[in-house]
Amino acid sequence: MPLVSMRQVLDEAAKGGYGVGAFNVNNMEQIQSIMEAARETKSPVIIQASRGARAYSQDRFLYHLMVAATEVYPEIPTVLHLDHGNSPETCQSAIDMGFTSVMMDGSLMPDGKTPSSFEYNVEATRKVVEAAHAKGVTVEGEIGCLGGIEDGHGAGLDGLSHLTDPGQAVEFVKATGLDALAIAIGTSHGAYKFSSKPTGETLKMARLIEIHKRLPGVHLVMHGSSSVPKDLQDIINQYGGKLKPTWGVPVEEIQLGIKNGVRKINVDTDNRLAITGAIRKVFVEKPEEFDPRSYMKPAREAMKKVVALRMTQFGQAGHANDYKPLSLETMASRYAAQPVAV
């Protein structure tokens, strides 16, 4: 089965009332971890690559690894999504490469750092929607600015200074015709999200619920939603690492989000922690080993366990075979039949 449209995967998630994890990758082992977890839990998959990941893997390597994933795991509907496209040009290059979904993050200027104006965001996102939908490709946009920095991308804000305004979100969706909307409700990128366990109050869940009430048909996206579990931090520190105490987004808050329109949940840090902990453990316990497979295999297994757990917690487990994937051509003709309102 070829790579599928994210819109279809999220539409199905909305029908079934579950969320779908979107996991970041840079290399073969991470892709294999996610696909194995998906097979084990019978889950649809969203795999995403940032600009940093595309540069690291020279783009075409990553794309062909994803094609391999669809050949080895033909029973799993698999989406390849661009995370935080910084300009319409970047999104276009991903569409040309074969990504089936792109994020146009027009909440920041193309430098990926400076918060933009609402007008700029609408114009950039609309442009991407036009080009992407013509090819059946899905578009995620963002309104409000997230905290932290991801792969060099991000304003380095504290996560609370540019929360999504619900009225503006409604206007943004109408003006752009996008498929999925990333909102800022206090989450941030990276491992150091909160200095104590956050509550629904810290996370501004009430605002998320309000946005969902005003936009019930729009698929909401939670960025920066690793839970940063203590056991994964502990393994790293036990084997010589130096992580400072930190808290992520509790799974219960994500599940509350899923009950209120969240269909895509971005997770990267948890997988990075799992991989690093497993590698450190081998280095300390078996210092005589020098075959990379001796530590990459346990790393792959550790990441698979985290991904399978998240797939179960988000509710996507068991839903891989609920539907027949539609071709991008079919998606394109559906979009053409419902042009964006001006």
The residue whose Cβ lies closest to Zn ion is 223
Least CB distance to Zn ion at residue 39 (A): 26
Least CB distance to Zn ion at residue 317 (A): 23
Which CB sits closer to Zn ion, 212 or 223?
A: 223
Q: Which residues pair with 149 in a beta bridge?
A: none
x/- letters, 168..207, toward Zn ion (CB under 5 A): ----------------------------------------
3-state secondary structure at position 91: helix
For Zn ion, how many residues bind (rule: CB under 5 A)? Answer: 1
| CA-derived radius of gyration, the chain | 19
Which CB sits closer to Zn ion, 155 or 296?
A: 155
Phi-psi region of 98 (alpha: psi -120 to 50; beta: other; left: phi over 0): left
Least CB distance to Zn ion at residue 150 (A): 5
x/- letters, 256..295, toward Zn ion (CB under 5 A): ----------------------------------------
Cβ neighbour number for residue 262 with a 10 Å cutoff: 26
Cβ neighbour number for residue 114 with a 10 Å cutoff: 10
Which CB sits closer to Zn ion, 235 or 273?
A: 273
Residues 6+ apart with CB under 8 A from 33: 271, 300, 301, 303, 304, 307
Least CB distance to Zn ion at residue 193 (A): 12
Least CB distance to Zn ion at residue 66 (A): 19
Q: List the catalytic residue out of 11, 59, 83, 151.
A: 83
Whether 83 is a known active-site residue: answer: yes
Considering only 126, 223, 264, 280, the residue that binds Zn ion (CB under 5 A) is 223
Q: Does 51 bind Zn ion (CB under 5 A)?
A: no
Angle at CA of residue 282, ends 300 and 22, nearest 5°: 25
| Helices 205-214 + 251-259 axis angle, to 10 | 20
Residues 6+ apart with CB under 8 A from 131: 88, 91, 92, 95
- Known catalytic residues are 83
Please report, as ranges, the residues that interact with Zn ion according to CB under 5 A: 223
